[in-house]
């Protein structure tokens, strides 16, 4: 596991965006680029907003094209139609897809209104497999260390499925529903921890003091189902990009190690 520490959220975002842009461009310039698209996993939340802004800028500047990119989003609330203010479908279109040259057919987001949500999740996993797997999964983490909507104690081998959201997550996300806890959907469709772990590379964004405990559990503590993001310790190519505030709970030795070895 690599940990990249930058001073601020903006610097972290720029680093992560440039890393992914390099990956997309290298893929497109290679023989593989002619026969298959670059498959990119994407999260929602405030963590990736800086990266998405950098993608839009780089796309406008002609430094990257998303024409040969296929995306799979991590999760979606159950029961919210696409055009709901808080659907992840809307979030992704408002903050990224409507501003870049991606083919709308290449955008994949779990359907929160599916009649049979478990079947929808199986279809999603199958589609990822048809594309030959995810090349790079960009992710974030909840304050409680969940990845996608894989709350504490979700199997670290889990595949896409319906997840019940914890009280912690409902409280954290109430801010997007006018602070009204009762309006936050209680379940979501989500890729599994195993789905993320199958990606060739995983790049996780952690910023701010409120993510410091999750970063400590991810980097320094044993792999645990209580902090599902800690499964990334077992991933062969995981990178954590963080800012200084997120490092508040790391030991000085750990912090220095990653600063010195970068």
Among residues 14, 41, 75, 198, the one that binds ligand GLP under rule CB under 6 A: 75
Token couple for 99? 């501003």
Under the binding rule (CB under 6 A), the answer on residue 43 touching ligand GLP is yes
180 is catalytic: no
Under the binding rule (CB under 6 A), the answer on residue 45 touching ligand GLP is yes
85 is catalytic: no
- The window from 39-47, 58-66, 96-104, 105-113 that contacts ligand GLP (CB under 6 A) reads 39-47
Ranges of beta strands (E only) in 155-237 are: 161-164, 187-190, 201-206
Under the binding rule (CB under 6 A), the answer on residue 47 touching ligand GLP is yes
Containing 216, the helix (H) or strand (E) segment is: helix 212-219
Ranges of beta strands (E only) in 27-156 are: 38-42, 69-73, 75-77, 107-108, 136-139
User: Binding-site residue total for ligand GLP (CB under 6 A)?
Assistant: 13
Under the binding rule (CB under 6 A), the answer on residue 228 touching ligand GLP is no
Name residue, tokens 């529903």. 177
Edge-to-edge, what's the strand order for the sheet holding 38-42?
Answer: 2-6, 238-243, 201-206, 136-139, 38-42, 69-73, 107-108
Site for ligand GLP in 181-200 (CB under 6 A): none
Token couple for 212? 């410091």
101 is catalytic: no
151 is catalytic: yes
Under the binding rule (CB under 6 A), the answer on residue 74 touching ligand GLP is yes
Active-site residue identified among 76, 151, 198, 201? 151
Measure the CA–CA gap between 236 and 42, rounded to whole angstroms.
Answer: 19
Write out the catalytic residue numbers: 75, 144, 146, 151
Which residues sit at the interface with ligand GLP, rule CB under 6 A? 43-47, 74-75, 140-142, 148-149, 169
């Amino acid at each position: 596991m690599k940990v990249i520490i930058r001073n601020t959220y903006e610097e972290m975002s720029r680093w992560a965006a440039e890393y992914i842009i390099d990956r997309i461009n290298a893929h497109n310039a290679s023989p593989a680029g002619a026969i298959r698209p670059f498959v990119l996993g994407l999260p929602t939340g405030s963590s990736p907003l800086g990266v998405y802004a950098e993608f839009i800028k780089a796309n406008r500047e002609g430094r990257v094209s998303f024409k040969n990119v296929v995306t799979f989003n991590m999760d979606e609330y159950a029961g919210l139609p696409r055009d709901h203010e808080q659907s992840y479908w809307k979030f992704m279109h408002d903050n990224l897809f409507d501003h870049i040259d991606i083919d709308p057919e290449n955008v994949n987001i779990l359907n929160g209104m599916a009649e049979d949500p478990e079947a929808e999740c199986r279809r999603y996993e199958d589609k990822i497999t048809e594309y030959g797997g995810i090349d790079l999964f960009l992710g974030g983490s909840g304050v409680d260390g969940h990845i996608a909507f894989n709350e504490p104690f979700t199997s670290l081998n889990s595949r896409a499925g319906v997840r019940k959201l914890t009280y912690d997550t409902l409280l954290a996300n109430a801010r997007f529903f006018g602070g009204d806890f009762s309006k936050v959907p209680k379940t979501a469709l989500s890729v599994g921890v195993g789905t993320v772990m199958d990606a060739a590379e995983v790049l996780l964004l952690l910023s701010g003091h409120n993510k410091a405990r999750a970063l400590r559990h991810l980097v320094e503590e044993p792999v645990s189902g209580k902090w599902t993001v800690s499964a990334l310790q077992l991933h062969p190519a995981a990178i954590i990009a963080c800012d200084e505030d997120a490092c508040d709970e790391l030991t000085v030795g750990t912090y220095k190690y990653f600063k010195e070895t970068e």
